[in-house]
Amino acid sequence: MINKNIIRGGVFLAALLCLAPLTMHGQSDNDTLIVEITVAAYAGYTIDIDTSGEYATIGIAEIDTLNAHTGCIMIRPVFPGPWGDTAVAEMAGLPRFFIFEWEDGANLDSLKSVYQALASVETSRIPVVFSSARPPSDIDPNDTYFSAQWEHNSANTSLNTKGDAGAWDITTVSSSVTVGFIDSGIDQDHTEFYGRIATGYNLYSGGSNTDDDQGHGTAMAGAAAAKGDNNSMMAGVCWNCTLLPVKALRPVSGSAIGEDDVIAAGIAWAVDHGADILNLSIGNSDLSIDVIPVMEAALKYAYHRGVPSFAAAGNTGIQFIDYPARSEYCIAVGAMADCGSGVRKRIGTDPLGVTCDYETSWGSSYGPELEFIVPGVALVTTTIDGSINYISDPNALASGTSIATAIASGVAALVKSVDTSLSPSAIRQILIMSCTDLQHTAGFDWNTGYGKLNSRYALEIAQAESGGYVWL
């Protein structure tokens, strides 16, 4: 059930500009709402947007009357289409979301309320801002694993990827499996991705320039898919998979942020342009947010098109999973350390007293929606200067549930390569079944989900389910 009382979850920073055939998302001086039309209104009226007059109209009488009163100057669809599957798009509700725009200085809280009161409006929302789920870095440079990728090498906490009994002994994935990164873009010239970056989309410029100007997307792509066994800098999880960059985050004050309508449009675009796996290393930790309708519609569309979405649990270290990881259509990924039980919590909040990695500025969020935990502390990954973070600055290794999510997406790509017909629910179930329980109580718990992800076991389960083997 959608909670219509959800309030704004951040500072509003975005509006939209129109560019056919897709909507170009960017900043303007105007104020916007995301308005969702009810199923009945969408079915009972012919949507006919007209912005040529003194106020914008949509073809629904009560909305047009209110637009005249409020001075709405522009209306645009969030998901303009065409979609890869119109029936699934309509089932998910994509055609029912619109951006309404007013001159700068509009009272958005009042506008939200008056539009929400209309019988033809399901939800009326101020856009919500999401940020890359990356915590501050306070890595101790004297840690013994700085010069290595412990997520692949640690005896106790690794993904079980390398060696004769590792996942890579079965497959390193072919280029036929595509991972979509809804992020800040990917460094187009990085040697770790040579020949494997598909033509993506920039939601802000409206074109195909998805070069990364912030760094977060490149870091996520490296953890998931840097080329392995090539006498170069590092190895990701899926060495040969194709990367599909969708630029839906922009640099602001050293971080990467994006608005809900921009990210939602990016999700739908990626699904329609070949993504087999979606990586959402983003999150909003506002406790007042239950679900965000425009995002939920896009995630539902992806799920029913057969594309699983992996999202970061969050870095607040509290009992609350960020959105969209909390969505029923996402797989929520937490972060673990290479010490103790692997549980990644802040000092003083961990019921098990696990503080062995000495990172005190953040913790992996936990709760009933958490599926499993993945290495996410002090990891080597790619940077936008064509290098890796360990070479650029050994004190700035990557930590957080963002990069843990990217690793999980890489494992999902391995699994998908075994059987490309696997549904999102089947992939989720295989990954859960592969997990090694880490908590004192057997089975699922809120701190670690189903436990530590094991890539080798996941592939063996997928092989057993499909009845075959893949050697690449």
Higher pLDDT, 268 or 442: 268
* pTM of this prediction exceeds 0.75: yes
- Active site (catalytic) residues: 183, 216, 402
Residue 167 has a pLDDT of 78
Average pLDDT, the chain: 82
- What pLDDT, on the 0 to 100 scale, is given for residue 158? 64
pLDDT over 90, % of the chain: 58
Phi-psi category of residue 201: left, alpha or beta, with phi > 0 → left and psi -120 to 50 → alpha: beta
Average of per-residue pLDDT across 49-73 = 96
Q: pLDDT (tens digit, 9 = 90+) per residue, 219-264?
A: 999 999 998 887 788 888 898 999 999 999 999 988 899 999 999 9
Shortest CA distance to 45 belongs to which of 112, 125, 119, 115? Answer: 119
Distance CA 46, CA 37 (A): 12
Q: Phi/psi of residue 447, each to 5°?
A: -80, -40
Mean pLDDT of 420-436: 94
- Name residue 180's amino acid: G
The angle subtended at Cα 175 by Cα 390 and Cα 221, nearest 5°, is 30
* Residue range 107-141, pLDDT digits in tens: 999 999 999 999 999 999 999 888 775 544 332 22
Q: Is the pLDDT of residue 93 over 50?
A: yes
pLDDT at 298 over 80: yes
Handedness of CA 377, 429, 291, 326 (dihedral sign): negative
> What's residue 353's pLDDT?
47
CB half-sphere exposure, 264, CA atoms < 13 A: 32
CA dist 246 and 249 (Å) reads 9
Q: Radius of gyration of the chain from Cα atoms?
A: 22
Residue 455 has pLDDT above 60, yes or no: yes
pLDDT band at 391 (very low <50, low <70, confident <90, very high): confident
Instruction: Determine whether 8 is exposed, middle or buried from the number of CB atoms within 10 Å of its CB (0-12, 13-18, 19+).
Output: middle
For the chain, what is the total number of helices (H) and then of strands (E)? 12, 17
Among candidate residues 422, 397, 380, the one with its CA nearest the CA of residue 135: 397
Peptide bond between residue 245 and the one before it cis (omega within 30 degrees of 0): no
Residue 209 has pLDDT above 80, yes or no: yes
Which pLDDT does position 443 carry in this prediction?
83
Pick from 55-69, 274-288, 329-343: least confident: 329-343
DSSP 284: B
| Angular region, 68: left φ>0, alpha ψ -120 to 50, beta rest | alpha
Q: What's the pLDDT tens digit per position in 27-37?
A: 445 799 999 99
pLDDT digits (tens, 9 = 90+) for 70-87: 999 999 999 998 999 999
Q: Residue 349: is its pLDDT beyond 60?
A: no
Q: Cβ(277)–Cβ(412) under 8 Å?
A: yes
Q: What is the pLDDT of residue 262?
A: 96
90 has a pLDDT exceeding 90:
yes
Pairwise CA distance, residues 278 & 270, whole Å: 8
Q: Which of 112-116, 130-134, 148-152, 459-463 has the lowest mean pLDDT?
A: 148-152
pLDDT band of residue 160 (cuts 50, 70, 90) is low
167 vs 310, which has greater pLDDT? 310
Residue with tokens 């600055």: 393
- Amino acid type, 289: I
Q: Measured between alpha carbons, how far is 184 from 216 in angstroms, rounded to an integer?
A: 6
* Per-residue pLDDT, 442: 75
Residues 6+ apart with CB under 8 A from 259: 12, 13, 14, 25, 127, 128, 129, 130
In this prediction, residue 50 has a pLDDT band, given cuts at 50, 70 and 90, of very high
